[in-house]
Structures are given as C-alpha cells and as structure tokens.
Structure 1
Amino acid sequence: MTSVTEFLLNRSSQPRLTAPAPDRATLEKAFACAARAPDHALLRPWRYLVIEGEGLEQLGNLFASTCPNNADESEIEKLRRAPLRAPMIVVGIVSPSEHPKVPEVEQLLSAGTGMSFLELALQEAGFGVMWRTGPIAYHPAVREGLGLSEHESIIGFLYTGTVAMEKPRVPRPDVHEFVSDWPPERP
C-alpha cells in the first residue's frame, strides 16, 4: 500500500480541538488540494468561508438566532457555544451553475469531494478536523447570515485546530459488508 492509502485507512474525525489553528500558508496549500477535486467542465462549484477569532462568536450568535422564541435557554446557549469547539471553522459551500452537461448533483459531489480533500490536507499537515452539519447547516437564517446566494447551500462546517485529545479508534465495517459484484453469480 502507498502512504496515501495508509493515511486514508488511519483517518479519523477529532471532536476535541484547541489552538493553534492552521496558519495561512497551510490553509492555502489545503485549499489548493481542495481545488483538485474532480470537476466536470471546470465549473468550480464550490467556495469556502474561513471563520476564526471574533467571527466564531458571531457565528454562535447566528446559530442561536435560529432557535424558536419558546426555546429553552440551555438550547440557545448550546448553539451559541458550538462554534467555540475549535479555533477555526471552514464553511464549505456548493455554488452550482446551470450547465447542459453537468447536472447539479455532479456539482454537489464535486464540492463535497473538495471539502474532503481539504479535510485530508489539514490532517496531513498535523491538524485535527471534524466535519459537522446537522439542521443548522440547512437553516435559511444561517444561509442568509453567511451571505449565501439563493442557489447555494452549505455542505458542512469543517472545525479544525490542534488535537486536544485523541479519540478512540472507531471500528470500520468489513469491505464485504458494502461491496458486491454485478451481475451476481448464479448458483
């Protein structure tokens, strides 16, 4: 196996992150990796927002603003504190275009692959990452607050920073559980 394969087999999400976050040179290289995602017709159907420092508090306030008026104060506070779980968050955004040969789903897959490449590049640089979504990623107030256009969607919040504490390894399924041959062999 190559070093890339070994790296992929050992990849894991890290929920406990602390400062420092990736520096600008590391981020630039990681975004260059993200731009290597397969991209039919070179549409570049992605963009990213980097949020750190005071921006994390503003993002927390934006998250908290999505709570209904009758929400419990602890629920509001949980959303307000959520972005503070890492020193940096990269918001992945799919920004599809109309194209006669490239359906929107292919553009979404391209943007998701770019986000995954970004995640892997940051991990290879020694940082921990956690890709988060949940209902907050699809809330209209969050989309609007982050300045997304009507045709854009959030594909994830990539929390990143220095790993504070390694999490235990997660068991992975056996390949035979999700791979089969087609057409199936006849008995």
Structure 2
Amino acid sequence: MSNATIELLSARRSVPARQMQGPAPSEEQLRTLLTIAARVPDHGKLAPWRFIVFSGEAREKAAQIIAAAFAADNPEADEKRLAAERERMTAAPLVVAVVSRAAPHPKIPEWEQVLSAGAVCMNLIVAANAMGFATSWVTGWCAYDRRVLDAFGLAPDERIAGFVHIGTASEKPADRPRPDLSAIVTRFGE
C-alpha cells in the first residue's frame, strides 16, 4: 500500500537548523501551514495552543533575548557559546513557536491539551515537508525559561511546546535507520 502521504511520512527526516537556508515560506504558504497545523485533535475544541512567528529581524531580537538569559545564568560563557545560543533563532529563515496554553478544565485533562499542542507541531512539520521545506522541532532550556517566555509575551500559564524551524535544506538529511518495531511494540494478550 503506497500513496504520496505514506511516502512522505516514510521519508520524513529532521534537518538541523544550521543546515537550513532561504527561502522561507511565503506569507501565503505560512498561512496555509498554520491553518493545517491547527487542524489537530482537540478534545473540547479548546484550541489550547497558539503561534508566535519569528522571521526577518525579529529572529535576531529573539536571539538576543535568549543569549542574554543564558549569559545571566552562565557568566563564564564565552562568545562562541553565546553565538550558539543566538543561533537557536537565527539559523533557519523562519521559526514558529507553538505555545501550549493547557489549563485546568472540568472535562479535558491538561495532559490531553499538551498532547494537542504537540500534534500541532507535528502537523506543521508534515505540512512544511509536503511543501518541500526542511524542518526541525526543538525545545531546549529557553522553551521553559520564564525570562524568555515573558519577553516573548507568554502568559504565566503558557509554555512553548516547540520551536519549529522551517527553511530549505542546504544538504540532503542523512537517512537514519528506522526503529526496530520488535523492541517497541507489544501486543496486548500475547
């Protein structure tokens, strides 16, 4: 059984942001990507997530915020390490932060809301890959650092589920072995 979707999912690989270059998706493509990303399972139709788009010079501003927070906690960090922290937001031509705003609800557990935000990240990746773009989904310390979250305008109950980097691959991603299903699949009752 083979079709374009199965082939896309079978070949999908993450590409490190430092191996991405322009062009980034156009505004029209980005609107399509975000629309598709938002079409995920969402128990209760809460939309417990939102997007922050970092493009152009805004990536530099975000990179400075991250580097400053890192430097405050790591005063011994040299310029090479600070440059690596800035690269989190500047290596790819477009970064979309998927913000999880899971909150107590009388019927929908918070963990289901967090999973919905994760599904948004995956839909965004698959849609961007289908458009021919390279992607990676990362978190890292800065996705949880309150100084960074505040600077990005997140409410106290919001967290970053992932930074999705989108660009054009400067080189073909390495093919990795597929997981050994015998090590990760159990059949109930056998």
TMscore range, shorter length: over 0.9
Corresponding residue of 1:103: 109
Which secondary structure does the structure 1 equivalent of 2:69 belong to?
coil
Q: C-alpha distance in 2, partners of 1:180/1:114?
A: 27
Cα separation, partners in 2 of 1:71 and 1:35, compared to 1, 3 Å: same
Alignment correspondent of 1:45: 48
Q: Quote the Cα distance in structure 1 between the aligned partners of 2:185 and 2:85.
A: 38
Query: In the TM superposition, what is the alpha-carbon distance from 1:111 to its structure 2 partner?
Result: 0.8
Aligned to 1:11: 12
Alignment of 1:1-187 (within 5 A): 1=1, 2-15=3-16, 16-67=19-70, 68=73, 70-73=75-78, 74-183=80-189, 185=190
- 1:89-142 per-residue CA deviation (whole Å, 9 max, x = no partner) reads 000101123321101100000011011101100110011111111112111111
How far is the alpha carbon of 1:166 from its aligned partner?
A: 1.1
Deviation at 1:81, TM superposition (A): 2.9
Within 2, Cα distance between the matches of 1:168 and 1:77?
Answer: 25
Q: Aligned pair count? A: 184
Structure 2 gaps of 5+ residues are: none
Aligned residue type for 1:147: G
Q: Give runs of ≥4 in structure 1 deviating > 4 Å.
A: none
Give the superposed CA RMSD: 1.3
The residue type equivalent to 2:15 in the other structure is Q
Q: CA deviation at 1:69?
A: 5.3
Q: Deviations over 1:152-185 (max 9, x none)?
A: 10011111111111121011112222111112x3
Percent of aligned pairs with the same amino acid: 35
- 2:175 and 2:74 map into 1 onto residues whose CA distance is 40
Distance 1:106 1:142 in 2: 25
Relative to the length of structure 2, the TM-score reads 0.92
